[in-house]
Amino acid sequence: MRHPQKKFLKRLFLHAIQEVQPEALFRKYLHVYDNTLYYRNTPLEMQNKGRLVLAGSGKASQSMAQAILPYLPLKPHLSLLITREGKNDLLFDTCPGNHPLPASESLIAGHRMRDFLNGLEEEDTLIYLLSGGSSAMMELPLPGLTLQDLQSANRVFLESGMDIREINILRSRLSQVKGGKLAALCKARIYVFVLSDVMGNDFSTIGSGPFYPADISDSAVRELIAAHELEQSLPRHLIAALKTNNEQPPGRHAVLPHFLIGSNMDLLEAANAFLNKKNFPVRTFPESLYGEARKAGAMIAEMICKEEGAKPSFLLFGGETTVSLNEKPGKGGRSQEIALSALSELRNSRNYCLLCAGSDGIDGNSDAAGALIDRHSYRKAQELGLLPENFLAEHDSYRFHQYCGTLLFTGPTGTNVADIVIALID
């Protein structure tokens, strides 16, 4: 990280990440007045005769729980947080879950959460903290299905190129803890606070909507199965389960309050504000990262080439792409693939620097947050005899960036609001 442009972009990224930590976001959206907690201007009634209970699932559940404590009228009587690593916490009861595919710990987490919520009474108040990653980290298959069934289905879904909404609709069809099903078994008053990692902030999509069912018809599910040729990839009993509507009937989950406390837009606004304070020209493109990562990288490269006006200038992109994998993919993630695709197009054509990263600090099946490239990166690849196109074909972006020294590492960030791409054109 010798180049000042790279150092500046990493500093900008880390600043934006700090602004979307749960502590900062709760400060934006919550306040206490006259011993009552408000989400913006909405009061939340918590003075039940029963217990105050805190639960959550997802990559940010632990940091969300720590951040919300100062706003609560009393210390929670009970807690259960499904986290990625299940770190010990003196304040909360935690349980690890697996990611990106559900595994044995995910099933233990699903059982524990189901039993935990089923034990609450009508007089209790439950605050549930939901963030991205929950879909894999907390799972419980429908009766008759196995963990191996869920793993096979999830692998096919993730490799198909489906967007996250489509994936989570299908996931909920195979699960006892998705698509509003947790709401149906919990008697307590429930408030769900949501940190969104999906575009559009659809509550039925984030974490597969454990308290918020997807509004989709059986025919639409069948069309989805046909469009992605799932009948060629999955066994008959899984296709039958997908086509069977096992959603809970309309009921209390239809009116459960969900409160959005942060999204990808907050991340873009934080980066934009940082640049505005320094009087840099900046253009922001919300929800512009979608579809195949490779195509998104090519689009960004074209926009960098066409950027005119005062320099240095910045382009900000937010969203979440997909990667349709081959049978034996390499190592990497969508952000690393965007960077590699852009590098393949840009080469050393002009003076630029490009940061592509996931806000959670974990890109795909790697330990990197993403990648940070510039025109010198292509020269380095040439010196090493590396062709970006070959690594793109194998979805092996991590190895390319590892050779070229262009991986970006942050470690888990404690938040999760999808991805960001920051382009500096000089």
**Integer Cα distance of 235 and 156 in angstroms:** 11
**Integer Cα distance of 110 and 97 in angstroms:** 9
The DSSP annotation for 262-306 comes to E-HHHHHHHHHHHHHHTT--EEEEEEEE-SBHHHHHHHHHHHHHH
Indicate if 239 and 122 belong to the same structural domain. yes
pLDDT score of 80 more than 50: yes
**236 CB neighbour count, 10 Å cutoff:** 8
141 versus 244: the higher-pLDDT residue is 141
Is 18 a domain residue?
Answer: no
Is 16 a domain residue?
Answer: no
Predicted local distance difference test score (pLDDT) of residue 90 = 79
Is residue 338 within 8 Å of 293, Cβ to Cβ? yes
Average pLDDT estimate for 343-360: 94
Is 17 a domain residue?
Answer: no
Predicted local distance difference test score (pLDDT) of residue 207 = 96
**Integer Cα distance of 100 and 79 in angstroms:** 24
Mean pLDDT of the chain: 93
Q: What DSSP designation does 255 have? A: G
Indicate if 198 and 293 belong to the same structural domain. no
Task: Say which CATH number the domain at 231 has.
Answer: 3.40.50.10180
Predicted local distance difference test score (pLDDT) of residue 1 = 39
Q: Sorting pLDDT into bands at 50, 70 and 90, what band is 247?
A: low
Indicate if 250 and 273 belong to the same structural domain. no
Average pLDDT estimate for 150-166: 89
Is 94 a domain residue?
Answer: yes
pLDDT score of 248 more than 80: no
Indicate if 47 and 152 belong to the same structural domain. yes
Candidate from 44-53, 286-295, 311-320 with smallest mean pLDDT: 44-53
Task: Say which CATH number the domain at 330 has.
Answer: 3.40.1480.10
Candidate from 33-37, 279-283, 360-364 with smallest mean pLDDT: 33-37
Indicate if 278 and 254 belong to the same structural domain. no
Is residue 301 within 8 Å of 373, Cβ to Cβ? no
Is 326 a domain residue?
Answer: yes
Indicate the helix (H) or strand (E) that contains 372.
strand 370-374
Predicted local distance difference test score (pLDDT) of residue 358 = 98
| Per-residue pLDDT tens over the stretch 269-314 | 999 999 999 999 999 999 999 999 999 999 999 999 999 888 999 9
**Integer Cα distance of 332 and 198 in angstroms:** 20
**227 CB neighbour count, 10 Å cutoff:** 11
Phi then psi for residue 392, to 5 deg, are -65, -40
N residues, the chain: 426
pLDDT score of 87 more than 80: no
Predicted local distance difference test score (pLDDT) of residue 250 = 47
pLDDT score of 249 more than 60: no
Is 144 a domain residue?
Answer: yes
Question: What SS3 class is residue 17?
Answer: helix
Average pLDDT estimate for 405-426: 97
Burial track 308-347 (b if 16+ CB lie within 10 A, e otherwise): eeeebbbbbbbbbbbbebeeebbbbbbbbbbbbbbbbbbb
Q: Which residues contact 299 (CB under 8 A, 6 or more apart)?
A: none
Domain end among 233, 262, 291? 262
Indicate if 173 and 149 belong to the same structural domain. yes
Q: Sorting pLDDT into bands at 50, 70 and 90, what band is 334?
A: very high
Counting residues of the chain whose pLDDT is more than 70, the rounded percentage is 96
Indicate if 296 and 162 belong to the same structural domain. no
Candidate from 12-16, 177-181, 299-303 with smallest mean pLDDT: 177-181
Indicate if 228 and 110 belong to the same structural domain. yes
Q: Sorting pLDDT into bands at 50, 70 and 90, what band is 263?
A: very high
184 versus 358: the higher-pLDDT residue is 358
**Domain limits at 401?**
4-11+265-425
Count of domains forming the chain: 2
Domain end among 262, 292, 319? 262
Counting residues of the chain whose pLDDT is more than 90, the rounded percentage is 83
